Amino acid sequence: MAVTLRAKIAGTGSYVPERVLSNRDLEKMVETTDEWITTRTGIKERRIAHGETSADMAAKAAERALGNAGVSASEIELIVVGTVTPDMTFPSTACFVQSLLGIKAGVPAFDLSAACSGFLYALDVAEKYIISGVVKKALIIGVDRFSNIIDWTDRSTCVLFGDGAGAAVLSATRGKSGVLASNIHSDGRKWNLLYAPNPVRDTPFCKETGTDERESKEEPLPPYLAMSGNETFKVAVRTMVSSIKEALKAAKIRPEEVDLLIPHQANQRIIQATRQRLKLPEESVYMNLDKYGNTSAGSIPIALDEANREGRLKRGDVVLFVAFGGGLTWSSAAVRW
């Protein structure tokens, strides 16, 4: 009988900028306190990109993932980058990564936009290419540079986010390790809970009515991230719980068999509420948001890389991922390490 083809996580890597922005630093910028940020979110500090772009961060994380996997750039057959803060409208961040790492011409490289769920969306897509036998090795990356789209005078959002990138090498295997189940979801009707509009540019046609339905009807939105925090919080817990249950059911795994849950690092209270609803023990949840805040698509792969390098993942372990973000989007994956 043919053994199932799986996508195995062969290596991980991450990169965060050196510049640290602490809660104390933010106290000097907006009306906030270290105490408020710590108790409401769990965040103590975050990193800010300075003189480096999303593509630079993505390439550094990817280089480390290749090193960790013992795979050379020439073996990569697919590059998928989850990001909502690309350096340019086009080319894609993935194309820049291809160039920066010297990955051979002809290899497909593209970005996908799923905000904080970007890395798990990339995992889901790349896994399909692998299990269908189309590619043997893929590079998946989650990167965001939210410091570029934050209104640094808005205390309700500027304390939450940071910059960073994480990556993984996926490799085709017929062994027991690899992605056991993965799901991705979205609900565009709730787009306005969390969004970041493009900056508006004047064109010779702006004054004409009826050329662009949205522009003629509405005032342009400010080009900053906007979020309805409370509502987003509730939907985040609800969708993350349902997405995890779906992944566990598809993988035929009971909650007590989960060795490590690596959730999107948005808010400690969201993570705890999700964990409690699933009755998972505290020690089975990985958190590093105190150091980096919410790095959007970078969040899960940075946490995965740290867990991996700390030796938290043993061969045969069941690792569960779950994310939630703008779109709205949500996603979960169960992986045997």
Q: With binding defined as CB under 6 A, does residue 156 bind ligand UT7?
A: yes
Contact 218, 192 (CB under 8 A): no
Q: With binding defined as CB under 6 A, does residue 23 bind ligand UT7?
A: no
For residues 138 and 242, give the distance between their C-alpha atoms in angstroms, rounded to a whole number. 28
Catalytic residue among 68, 116, 267, 308: 116
Q: Does residue 230 come out as left (phi exceeding 0), alpha (psi in the -120 to 50 range) or beta?
A: alpha
Taking CB under 6 A as the binding criterion, the range among 29-37, 169-177, 180-188, 327-335 that sits at the site for ligand UT7 is 29-37
Considering only 240, 325, 332, 335, the residue that binds ligand UT7 (CB under 6 A) is: 325
What are the two backbone dihedrals, phi and then psi, of residue 308, each rounded to the nearest 5 degrees? -60, -50
Contact 144, 85 (CB under 8 A): yes
98 or 265: CB nearest ligand UT7: 265
Residue with the CB atom nearest ligand UT7 in the bound state: 229
Catalytic residue among 23, 68, 183, 294: 294
171 or 295: CB nearest ligand UT7: 295
Question: What is the x/- site pattern for ligand UT7, positions 172-211, by CB under 6 A?
Answer: ----------------------x-----------------
Q: With binding defined as CB under 6 A, does residue 36 bind ligand UT7?
A: yes
Q: Three-state SS for 231?
A: helix
129 or 233: CB nearest ligand UT7: 233
- At 162, the amino acid letter reads G
Which residues does 276 contact at the CB level (< 8 Å), separation at least 6?
none
Least Å distance, CB 213 to ligand UT7, is 28
Question: What is the x/- site pattern for ligand UT7, positions 223-242, by CB under 6 A?
Answer: ------xx-xx--x------
Helix (H) or strand (E) holding 275: helix 268-278
For residues 294 and 266, give the distance between their C-alpha atoms in angstroms, rounded to a whole number. 5
Q: Which residues pair with 320 in a beta bridge?
A: 261, 334
Q: With binding defined as CB under 6 A, does residue 40 bind ligand UT7?
A: yes
Residue with tokens 């083809």: 5
Q: Which positions from 260 through 299 interact with ligand UT7, judged by CB under 6 A? A: 266-267, 270, 294
Least Å distance, CB 330 to ligand UT7, is 10
19 or 155: CB nearest ligand UT7: 155
Long-range contacts made by residues 195-204, C-beta under 8 angstroms, separation at least 24? 195/221, 195/225, 195/226, 195/326, 196/84, 196/149, 196/223, 196/224, 196/225, 196/226, 196/326, 197/221, 197/222, 197/223, 197/224, 198/223, 199/223
Tokens of 32: 């906030």
Catalytic residue among 264, 267, 288, 308: 264
50 assigned to active site: no
Least Å distance, CB 43 to ligand UT7, is 9
- At 185, the amino acid letter reads H
155 or 309: CB nearest ligand UT7: 155
Residues acting as catalytic residues? 116, 264, 294
Footprint of ligand UT7 (CB under 6 A):
32, 36-37, 40-41, 116, 155-156, 159, 194, 229-230, 232-233, 236, 266-267, 270, 294, 324-325
